[in-house]
Homo-oligomer: A and B are copies of this chain.
Amino acid sequence: MAGNETGRRHSRDDVAEAALRILDDLGLADLTMRRLAGALDVQPSALYWHFPNKQTLLAELADRIVAARTAEPLAEVAAWQDAVRAEADALRDALLAYRDGAEVVSSTLALGLGSPGTVDRLALAVARGGFDVETSRRSATALLHFVLGHVSHEQQRIQYDSLGVLVDHPESPLDEDDPAAAFAFGVGLFVGGLELSRSRT
């Protein structure tokens, strides 16, 4: 691990790493500047030398979380439908890799922060189907909204299951027995909608 536990001075990267560790161990609610400072054996005010505020720190975490995707642009030969599905799956995997990952990315995105790379990649995959830029962009943001919402619920359910030790689920219509299948279905709807809009041109 990169964080120095003996020496006293830290880099911006150390702070981000420690924050990611707290996020994964305790969740977003417990990721406070004071706790983070404590983990680094530092006063809370020290963090503000590395990041101007908490939002910026969270944006950095969001970027690191989504950047961990498998990433390869996928063989050019593959059908655009497969490319879209692959991008969506990779994004879901990246979000699931960290506790509350979807919420971190979602809130960062909602604040207009974070790198636009995520939408761009999705849009690129869609554009391979021959759709114009505007259509590709709109499809990508719509799909992104679905992915974030879906994985948010998925992660919240995980947390409840491990905490409430199974609430004998009250049959909430948003709870899923097979998250992966429900996810694939949702992505399929998008791809299908795009296919149909194309055959209608």
- Residues on A lying within 8 angstroms of B by beta carbon are 103, 106, 109-112, 116, 119-120, 123, 135, 137-142, 144-146, 148-150, 152-153, 156, 160, 172-175, 182, 185-186, 188-197
Contacts and interface: CB of A to CB of B under 8 A. Distances in A.
Contacts of A119: 173-174
Contact of A186 (B109, B116, B138): B138
**A119, A150, A196 — which one has the most chain B CB atoms within 10 A of its CB?**
A196
Contacts of A138: 182, 185-186
**How many identical chains are in the complex?**
2
B156 A111 contact: yes
Nearest to A144: B149
Contact of A110 (B144, B156, B193, B197): B156
Interface centre among A116, A119, A182, A192 (most CB of B within 10 A): A192
